[in-house]
Amino acid sequence: MNPPAPLDETAAWNRAHDRLLRFLKTFALDDHVHVSRLALELLDQARALHQKDPSRDPVRVTMEEMHRLLLDWLAKNLHEEHETPAKVMTSGCVALLLSKLPEQAPASFLKTPLPEPVQRAMKQTLLATGPDLNVSSMTPRHLDYGPMLGLARQTWHRLNIKELIIALCFWAMVYVALYFWLSGDMP
């Protein structure tokens, strides 16, 4: 019979349990009983790991074990064992959520092997991030502005001071008229 755990260790395992439940809720699994079973199974595994190295924080041990299991499960079911962990985790979580597995087959979450239709649905939702990067040469070339370039050049070369002063006076009168009209100070 195991002696009772100290209070601070019990509190740490309670925090680990709460954190694990919050993490599992991010996947929006509809089967709450299955989520509770998963959490308890993962906590048992984390406790076994913690007994091997009691100096580690129970929350950290639990979440590392959860991430490891999730990463392995996603890599196996999506056949992406050769990819980096970051790519497997991001593409796998997106595929998981887009495949509607949490709503349609929540009991399949973290179960291996997945039923073939569920596995196919997850693979179909994998995202292609874009084409491969190819090195190419981009030499600068002259931009053709068409008729606008000629029109702009003619306008600046024919600048007339008299027309500019008339335009400025016109817009100043419009501004003063709008100012008095909008402020209500019209005589």
CA distance 88 to 131: 18
CA distance 159 to 153: 10
Strand residues in the chain grouped as ranges (E):
none
User: pLDDT tens across 90-141, in order?
Assistant: 888 888 888 877 777 778 888 877 778 777 777 776 655 556 667 777 787 7
Report the candidate in 9, 26, 122 with the shortest Cα–Cα distance to residue 76. Answer: 122
Mean pLDDT of 1-20: 78
Q: Are 2 and 32 in contact (CB under 8 A)?
A: no
- Residue 103 is predicted with a pLDDT of 79
Q: Where are the domains of the chain?
A: 7-124, 154-183
DSSP 167: H
Q: What is the mean pLDDT of the chain?
A: 82
pLDDT above 70: residue 186? no
Confidence (pTM): 0.60
